A and B are shown apart, each in its own frame.
Chain A
């Protein structure tokens, strides 16, 4: 997701809010939060617009005592369907054992308070909704107390709450479930007292996930698992080169299969394809395999990796659009030869390949539609479906399904997958249609982390610190030509390309960063931690190289070079040092330590890894990682994000970890050709340490990812003496 640097300022925007309360038909207290914020895409538009909100929104206290909390996010592994309810339940003093969670459908009331659209990304779920869910919980509690106080003719101040019970003077007590109806009739307070952190019972504690058991017994339904009466399955044949069009179609053999319902050409976001609709997935897939399609591939660029590299390398040797410039630009030539580093880096296209293949289910009924999508981008996807069907967004009931991973792949500005599903549903009016992208569709279907080239010229001062740093980054812009461009592109530089370099925490006084954004016929997308995936690698490997040249310990060097105000990162670095120093000094032969640190999305991370080479691959025996994320709402979840997020980051190191194109066609098809980390590739042991803090929480979804690749490669440099500037690591020869 895009860097939040500019967007973080928006959390200071004034907002009016009030709670609207009603009683549900089945009894119980329903609370909705009315937020009046300018929409994300309307930055600069000062006039707030009225919103329409559904009557039940965030908390439903049921007569049986169960407390249903609605989560305004997609749950796709990050644990938000547990941690957001924790926050609300804590302030509400709810009995946690009675809490159940559901994922909110698309609606204005569920929009991200900072971004102004309903979405998951930017590691923002907790960061942006922490305060929101606290207030929801606190106000609900206040209303329950008001109801009890009323009943007992006492003042609210004489009441206290604990575990879904209000206690009054004497031995009076009333359970929330009993009070719910009365509480619903109470006015919503403007303000409610928030707990002092010392009063937290859930926040800050290690709480296990609410969705564990269903995910272990096969009962958890994901988008792909949806089954509706009369539902049909659709697959789409996409052109082999992005933007290609159907010239002619022979579907005789396809239609001959028993159970094939429809075969027809459909327009895609670019170009066109052929949709096949059948009773069953296997039938649809086999029918698609039998299609004889003549593709018109004229008039479109046929991207080719080797040609692109030549182009990118050339561009990297010229100055681009300037992102940052400070100090005097001492030319490299003014430094003695031995005090120069010229480094050229290459990063390939990366596919996200979340475990659950992409899918969307849509039913079109003429004046209404219903959609079920495991979506990171509900507002955008709902709008896109409405647009394809000639409806208004509010005429599309949009359900958020649990997703089997996302990593950014389910937040697409052009909503291309829901659009395909909507078009097919339009043709099969009245019938629910589940569109499935096969794994091959996914690997070959674009929307990759862009390929990048970096060229860095460093002049090293006599103190071993970088005295001058010139940095050029070449990579496609993620948002050029989209509604997000106005927010993220300044002076021709896409902020998401240069984040992690332009805003470096290192004190480099003479600093020049520029970027080129070539146009390439490959759709691109944010990939978990976005620009930091490549920028952190460049920064942390160069810092390591500088440290080696200066004959300084890599941690000491970083301490010296970090800006004084980089306190969050320093604290993480210090904690990592403390927790790893014992094993770092006792490594077996053939092992080496690698260090890295990076701050992104407001969270600072430092990492030490123990690496050896086994079967010509890096074996990561252990990682110690320290995290500074402000208050850790659920430390068990933070630990999980970092233990696993490091493993996710290893995707960039895998030998088959690149998407390449030849004559316009993606060369990889499935996990055999594009191979993510298996258990043997991921760190064996990871110990996670959280810097104690009561600062506002910052996110942990993306921050684990950028640190692992440079740390491993820094360890390899010690083992082999070689520097690795090209990912993935196809060979450890460097």
Chain B
């Protein structure tokens, strides 16, 4: 067990865990923040996506020992970012979700896309969202919502 000081959603959090513990499980079980989801554990589905120093990061494969003092932002706080809020609003407006389990990750990936590329093309969307799995396959409305959020942010 090691003690780590983490910067989560602008707050300092201290945890004591095995160094090999993925950030995902530190968030979910030590910090009780269950918005970030476990879908596969091998970074294949994106349900665990958070932002680390602004980079969309798959927390299920990153051991907490490799995080350091980089800033972590999760789905619970993404509304504080205007892009995050626009994406969530677009998601609700377009009625994107079905079961909803993948959507935290979808939203975090979409926010990363829109922050880097405010006017994404269909190809940009397909490429940036290309690694986020949705078993309900809500992809048609995900595309629509990203375009809508992009419009709202103009």
The listed residue (B41, B88, B122, B142) touching A439 by CB distance below 8 A is B41
Are A76 and B99 also in contact (CB < 8 A) when A218-B35, A644-B139, A648-B137 are? yes
Q: Across the A-B interface, give the 6 residue pairs with the lowest CB-CB distance, nearest first.
A: A218-B35, A647-B137, A404-B101, A215-B100, A77-B99, A77-B98
CB pair B126–A679 under 8 Å, yes or no, is: yes
Taken together as a complex, chains A and B put the C-alpha atoms of A650 and B135 apart, in Å, by 11
The listed residue (B18, B37, B95, B143) touching A404 by CB distance below 8 A is B37
Taken together as a complex, chains A and B put the C-alpha atoms of A440 and B20 apart, in Å, by 19
Q: Which one of A77, A224, A647, A682 has the greatest number of beta carbons of chain B within 10 Å?
A: A77
Taken together as a complex, chains A and B put the C-alpha atoms of A646 and B122 apart, in Å, by 20
Nearest CB of B to A643, in Å: 4
Q: Which one of A78, A225, A407, A686 has the greatest number of beta carbons of chain B within 10 Å?
A: A225
CB pair A355–B32 under 8 Å, yes or no, is: no
- CB-CB contacts of B101-136 with A at 8 A, as 1s and 0s? 111100100000000000000100110011111111
Q: A219-B76, A640-B138, A671-B42 provided; 7 other pairs, C-beta below 8 A? A: A79-B98, A280-B29, A354-B135, A356-B37, A644-B134, A644-B140, A682-B139
In residues 140-154 of chain A, which contact B (Cβ within 8 Å)? none
A337 within 8 A of B: no
CB pair B140–A217 under 8 Å, yes or no, is: no
In residues 412-443 of chain A, which contact B (Cβ within 8 Å)? 438-440
CB pair A212–B91 under 8 Å, yes or no, is: yes
Chain A neighbourhood of B76, CB < 8 A: 217-219
CB pair A282–B34 under 8 Å, yes or no, is: no
Are A670 and B101 also in contact (CB < 8 A) when A218-B36, A676-B133 are? no
CB pair A640–B101 under 8 Å, yes or no, is: no
Taken together as a complex, chains A and B put the C-alpha atoms of A218 and B50 apart, in Å, by 12
Chain A neighbourhood of B36, CB < 8 A: 218
Taken together as a complex, chains A and B put the C-alpha atoms of A219 and B100 apart, in Å, by 11
- CB-CB contacts of A617-651 with B at 8 A, as 1s and 0s? 00000000000000000001000100111111010
CB pair A218–B132 under 8 Å, yes or no, is: no
Taken together as a complex, chains A and B put the C-alpha atoms of A658 and B122 apart, in Å, by 29
Are A636 and B99 also in contact (CB < 8 A) when A282-B22, A355-B136, A671-B42 are? no
A221 within 8 A of B: yes
A2 within 8 A of B: no
Are A685 and B98 also in contact (CB < 8 A) when A354-B135, A672-B42 are? no
Chain A neighbourhood of B47, CB < 8 A: 355
- CB-CB contacts of A210-227 with B at 8 A, as 1s and 0s? 011111111111101101
CB pair A650–B44 under 8 Å, yes or no, is: no
CB-nearest residue of chain A relative to B97? A215
Nearest CB of A to B80, in Å: 11
CB pair B38–A224 under 8 Å, yes or no, is: yes
Nearest CB of A to B20, in Å: 7
CB pair A209–B97 under 8 Å, yes or no, is: yes
CB pair B91–A355 under 8 Å, yes or no, is: no
CB pair A686–B101 under 8 Å, yes or no, is: no
CB pair A356–B126 under 8 Å, yes or no, is: no
In residues 392-419 of chain A, which contact B (Cβ within 8 Å)? 402-407
CB pair B99–A218 under 8 Å, yes or no, is: no
Chain A neighbourhood of B42, CB < 8 A: 439, 670-672
CB pair B88–A644 under 8 Å, yes or no, is: no
- CB-CB contacts of A670-693 with B at 8 A, as 1s and 0s? 111000111110111110000000
In residues 270-310 of chain A, which contact B (Cβ within 8 Å)? 280-283, 286
Chain B neighbourhood of A222, CB < 8 A: 37, 101
Chain B neighbourhood of A683, CB < 8 A: 140
The listed residue (A225, A355, A440) touching B99 by CB distance below 8 A is A355
B21 within 8 A of A: yes
Chain A neighbourhood of B130, CB < 8 A: 678-680
CB pair B101–A212 under 8 Å, yes or no, is: no
Chain B neighbourhood of A402, CB < 8 A: 99-100
CB pair A216–B140 under 8 Å, yes or no, is: no
CB pair B22–A405 under 8 Å, yes or no, is: no
CB pair B99–A280 under 8 Å, yes or no, is: no
Chain B neighbourhood of A281, CB < 8 A: 25, 28-29, 38
B92 within 8 A of A: yes
CB-nearest residue of chain A relative to B46? A678
Taken together as a complex, chains A and B put the C-alpha atoms of A640 and B129 apart, in Å, by 19
A357 within 8 A of B: yes
- CB-CB contacts of A372-407 with B at 8 A, as 1s and 0s? 000000000000000000000000000000111111
Taken together as a complex, chains A and B put the C-alpha atoms of A218 and B130 apart, in Å, by 22
Chain A neighbourhood of B83, CB < 8 A: none
CB pair B104–A77 under 8 Å, yes or no, is: no
Chain A neighbourhood of B32, CB < 8 A: 227
Interface majority SS (helix, strand, loop, mixed), chain A? loop
Taken together as a complex, chains A and B put the C-alpha atoms of A685 and B141 apart, in Å, by 9
A42 within 8 A of B: no
CB pair A258–B1 under 8 Å, yes or no, is: yes
CB pair B37–A286 under 8 Å, yes or no, is: no
Chain B neighbourhood of A76, CB < 8 A: 99
CB pair B98–A78 under 8 Å, yes or no, is: yes
CB pair A640–B98 under 8 Å, yes or no, is: yes
- CB-CB contacts of A435-464 with B at 8 A, as 1s and 0s? 000111000000000000000000000000
CB pair A282–B25 under 8 Å, yes or no, is: yes
B33 within 8 A of A: yes
B79 within 8 A of A: yes
CB-nearest residue of chain A relative to B134? A355
Taken together as a complex, chains A and B put the C-alpha atoms of A431 and B99 apart, in Å, by 29
Chain B neighbourhood of A678, CB < 8 A: 130-133
Chain B neighbourhood of A225, CB < 8 A: 28, 34
Chain B neighbourhood of A219, CB < 8 A: 35, 76
CB-nearest residue of chain B relative to A634? B95
Nearest CB of B to A684, in Å: 7
Taken together as a complex, chains A and B put the C-alpha atoms of A224 and B104 apart, in Å, by 15
CB pair B136–A405 under 8 Å, yes or no, is: yes
The listed residue (B44, B74, B95) touching A212 by CB distance below 8 A is B95
Are A686 and B41 also in contact (CB < 8 A) when A215-B97, A218-B76, A355-B135 are? no
CB-nearest residue of chain A relative to B104? A218
CB pair B98–A644 under 8 Å, yes or no, is: yes
A353 within 8 A of B: yes
Chain A neighbourhood of B141, CB < 8 A: 640, 643-644
Q: Which one of A76, A218, A404 has the greatest number of beta carbons of chain B within 10 Å?
A: A218
Chain A neighbourhood of B122, CB < 8 A: 684
The listed residue (A209, A215, A283, A679) touching B142 by CB distance below 8 A is A679
CB-nearest residue of chain B relative to A283? B18
CB pair A216–B45 under 8 Å, yes or no, is: no
Chain B neighbourhood of A212, CB < 8 A: 91-92, 95-97
CB pair B34–A647 under 8 Å, yes or no, is: no
A208 within 8 A of B: yes
Chain B neighbourhood of A407, CB < 8 A: 135
Chain B neighbourhood of A214, CB < 8 A: 100
CB pair B92–A355 under 8 Å, yes or no, is: no
Are A356 and B140 also in contact (CB < 8 A) when A208-B92, A280-B25, A670-B40 are? no
Nearest CB of A to B48, in Å: 12
Chain B neighbourhood of A357, CB < 8 A: 38-39
CB pair B140–A677 under 8 Å, yes or no, is: no
Are A217 and B88 also in contact (CB < 8 A) when A77-B100, A212-B97, A258-B1 are? yes
Chain B neighbourhood of A227, CB < 8 A: 32, 34
The listed residue (A258, A280, A438) touching B41 by CB distance below 8 A is A438
B75 within 8 A of A: yes
Chain B neighbourhood of A280, CB < 8 A: 17, 21, 25, 29
- CB-CB contacts of A189-215 with B at 8 A, as 1s and 0s? 000000000000000000011011111
The listed residue (A77, A218, A648) touching B34 by CB distance below 8 A is A218
